[in-house]
A and B are shown apart, each in its own frame.
Chain A
């Protein structure tokens, strides 16, 4: 016996736009790659565990291979030493891909305004959504995820290229500091 949608719709046909169908599928199954380096990554552990449970939003399949992920969550401080690694991993992710910059450090260097810390990862890779906080509460991570889902639903189209072509980070052209 059919249950759920099948029971209601039976043999009927639903028409929709291809874009909407694809966005709908994508948005409910983001595969995050967590670039966790510091304290913020510990908060991400909370996001992934039972109480906040990121799987309610379809993003619990945390991948540790950038090739299998479409959402990068940068949680933690990015030092100059780490920056080439971040860029390389970002480059390894296949399109379409999105980036969340979580926490004060990733967004702006946070209170590490010193010789070690990149003052905002958007000088290295393009960022879609920023989260404030040091560290952000787990709800803020979920909020950012919802924002990404909204972006997908509203802005994306398969005929539009998602690659950010005009982005130029500090490491793209190392002569320019």
Chain B
């Protein structure tokens, strides 16, 4: 008997585009996704986005919506695409994937595409008074719109409370946690209804740090975008650089030199370690354990010193280039690195001595803010937050890049998916990252750090100053950018917070037609209300901290 999967069930009702995306009709999308999820086991809806073909080729349709899914073996991905008719509507897929909820809201907000039967289709990134849909190609990039009043969110809160059986709200207290709140770690707003100290329901509002990353990308060349990627997850800027460069290199079909790959592994893992350090340090402050903040934050300073020698900047490093890395290690790098790693290990060790067997710490973190495996997958959570639930999904192992399969390391996982697990997974990941760095430092080969390809890599300064070819080459690459063949492409690496992917549409020029980030935080954040309802305020603060939401990446 043949397996009834998508391909057999939908025979003749789909076709495959050059990009590898399966094109289905709007009327089939719900059924198709149902089959793909349940029969073909693509259980993780990674991301959804739309493309406005107005300035490219809108002969088929002006808008298309794209679904990116990952198989339960975590290595294969599948792209599904629907071209929209003039009504600009699509059935919502929130009944299949909870992760679609916010994703669809974002598409509505940015492109004006409506999703029928969506539980709460309202703007998510832009403010309430915003008119128009900014990612449409005919929206002028600099046209800002003043917001005079903050949304009171009662339009979401009232039905939520009614559904929980509250008729009048006299006994409830409403409280805003954020957007300017010490525990909001930036700009996240959680509006909670309290009965005593217990949270009965929560509405999260994001978008306070929406900086128009995606629109800005459409107006810059590929290498100019790298500084923008720094500021997505600014706690581990270099990992964002790598994710972006890696995706573009995939589109170009090139592989960077061995030495550059090793450098990316080493500096990438270092970034992962210091990202976890900030998360843990801030969380422990939230818990009232301030001493640990100094223990965990100070090692970051020694890494900053190393990074500023290597890249010229402490925080926003822009270290990667399309085709390699911008500079090779400096003299004395190895020693600095050894010193930094020791510092990190000492900080982690000192902290663990204080908390590992600490009753207060255990009571505050264990069985708090639990999220179950299936729920986590359904919501599109990845990275340490997913691993804490007990699912060993890590792209470095599931789909190794840069030779990660040749390194010896473990993927720590948790068992309950509570705050404690999420923290401990991060502590252990720091150790594993250090272990990887040490192996890589032993094996790193000599050689080039940039591709030897004139249409991608900048020429040496020597040749720019002494030859006309050099000047021209430099001028063209800077002025026009690296030309990427026309494609639609998704690729991802394991970021500090989970699967950090980029979906890029190129049109053959040096500027991308569209860039969409798959931000791990976005999906983690959408799970927060379900984690904190029924708990105490103080626990909500820890739950939020343990997800490590970085606003730059969340709101883009």
Contact = CB atoms under 8 A, between A and B. Distances in A.
Interface stretch (B143-151, B252-260, B329-337): B143-151
A112 B211 contact: yes
Interface in B457-491: none
Would you call the interface of chain A mostly helix, strand, loop, or mixed? loop
Interface stretch (B77-85, B94-102, B134-142): B134-142
Interface residues of B, number: 48
A86 B148 CA distance: 11
Interface stretch (A18-26, A113-121, A142-150, A158-166): A113-121
Interface stretch (B192-200, B202-210, B402-410): B202-210
A115 B298 contact: no
Contacts of B298: 49-51
A76 B298 CA distance: 22
Interface string B497-517: 000000000000000000000
A46 interface: yes
A61 interface: no
Interface in A124-177: 134-135, 137, 170-171, 174, 177
Interface in B298-341: 298, 300-301, 304, 314-316
B181 interface: yes
B132 to A, nearest CB: 9
A42 B315 contact: yes
Contacts of A171: 146, 148
Interface stretch (B228-236, B263-271, B412-420, B446-454): B228-236
A35 B216 contact: no
Q: Which of A111, A118, A119 counts the most B-chain CB atoms under 10 A from its CB?
A: A111
Given A42-B234, A51-B301, A81 B126 contact: yes
B187 interface: yes
Nearest to B232: A39
Contacts of A118: 144
Contacts of B149: 84
A114 B209 contact: no
A49 B277 CA distance: 14
A75 to B, nearest CB: 11
A115 B139 contact: yes
Given A39-B234, A49-B297, A85-B179, A79 B208 contact: yes
Contacts of A135: 314-316
B400 interface: no
B227 interface: yes
Contact of B146 (A39, A112, A170): A170
Interface of A: 35-39, 41-43, 45-46, 49-51, 64, 76-77, 79-86, 89, 111-119, 134-135, 137, 170-171, 174, 177
